[in-house]
Amino acid sequence: MAKQSRQTKQKGLIYDEITKIKTFFSAEDLHNRLHKNKKNENNNNKKNTSLGIATIYRSLNRFVKEGRLCSYVCNRRMLYSQHNRNHCHFICENCNKNVYFEIKSIDFLKNKIDGKICHFQVDLSGLCSDCLKKNQ
């Protein structure tokens, strides 16, 4: 039988803050937001030391396992989203320029997958137009 995760005040604070974020975020982004909010709440310069980065990472991993969050790897960093958003980008192999773009459908893959695609991540690499011009 799987171990039941208990709801703690810390997990509640973390998840409440996540629901306010409308874009992709990292654990460090969330950590900074939580500390800033706690600092503003207390109206002093003391930081909230009860929410360490390790606690945030553990909570994020738990939320991903529970299906409450989606995770993506971007620039070798883990990003999170509360929405099943698709995450796509092109990285230039020469100048490392990152360009984010949207793909609305990957219907052409439906016949290749035995199951349902909920969200996806696409990483493309090559040469950007600026670097192509320089190499001509």
Summarised one tens digit per residue, pLDDT across range 91-100 is 999 998 988 8
1-83: CATH class: mainly alpha
CATH number of this structure's domain 86-136? 3.30.1490.190
The more confidently predicted of residues 27 and 106 is 27
Residues 114, 8: Cα–Cα separation, whole Å: 38
Per-residue confidence at 36, pLDDT binned at 50, 70, 90?
confident
Domain boundaries, the chain: 1-83, 86-136
3 state SS of 89: strand
pLDDT of residue 103: 85
Give the pLDDT confidence score for residue 131 in this predicted structure.
Answer: 93
Three-state secondary structure call for residue 86: coil
For the segment 122-133, the average pLDDT, to the nearest whole number, is 92
Q: Is the pLDDT of residue 41 over 80?
A: no
SS (H, E, C) 12-72: HHHHHHHCCCCCCECHHHHHHHHHHHHHHHHCCCCCCCCCCHHHHHHHHHHHHHCCCCEEE
